[in-house]
Amino acid sequence: MNAAERRSRIAASLELRPATVDELAGEFDVSLSTIRRDLDRLAGSGRILRTYGGAAPASPKREQSLRERELTASEAKEAIGRQAASLVAPGSVNILDAGTTVGALARCLTAREDVTVVTNGMTTARALEHADGVEVVLLGGRLRHISSGTVGPLAEAALAALTADAAFLGADGVSARRGLSEETDQQASLKRAMVQAAEQLYVLADATKLEASAGHWWTPIERPWTLITDASASEDQLRPFRDNPHVTLLVVESGA
């Protein structure tokens, strides 16, 4: 990854927990001096606070804009999207959640034939707008401008009227024990409707989302599901998912 992307990922990681220079150097496989320069630059822009021997969040975590999310772990999201696209069967009906990682999946479907996508995500809708081989069904509801996705009873009512072969879900945070965390109760409620409507469940989350309680509202998953994440995830992050008998874990290389 380039320096700008590395700094974005460092900032995202620090929003989840404080870290030392040594920990960050090991996580991002760069020298201590490189990490110190990155932290100094991030601190200078107000994104983090420098601490003795490391760094911490600059302020309580806020919800990132869609543009900020697009700049975070972009290579990992593209790799996750490609892996997820390989799991979309011909002739299938698929629910695609809102979000940038699921949007990466949508971009991989533009050349497919005989696939139906049901989505609440404007990112997905724009990616597939001119994909003649993909039938796109838009869920209604209230638009959350910060995430460019619809929520609310209209979207949930539409989901109640269908069954899908698979659902591809994003999240603010993913826990092996609790499920998917979101910023609002309406987002979590819509995800529960997606879980109920789909036969197979896939969660698309880069390493910064794993075992993170980024939001206050939860969608539990109490049946088999597949987590697709990237190879920058540590073994400590992956272990709870490996230990969960309901979870199938797929780890992809960012350049794959």
d(CA 112, CA 207): 28
Q: What is the CA radius of gyration of the chain?
A: 18
Six token digits for residue 55: 């760094």
Residue ranges of alpha helices (H) inside 72-205 are 74-85, 100-107, 122-128, 153-160, 185-197
Q: Give pTM, 2 decimals.
A: 0.76
- The CA distance from 199 to 196, in Å, is 8
CA dihedral (182, 149, 205, 164) positive or negative? positive
Per-residue pLDDT of the chain (256 residues; tens, 9 = 90+): 788 889 888 988 887 778 889 989 999 999 999 999 999 888 887 778 887 788 887 765 555 555 556 556 788 999 999 999 999 999 999 999 999 999 999 999 999 999 999 999 999 999 999 999 999 999 999 999 888 999 999 999 999 999 999 999 999 899 999 999 998 999 999 999 999 999 999 999 998 888 766 668 899 999 999 999 999 888 888 999 999 999 999 999 976 5
The dihedrals phi and psi of 127, each to the nearest 5 degrees, come to: -65, -35
**What structural domains does the chain harbor?**
3-57 (1.10.10.10), 66-252 (3.40.50.1360)
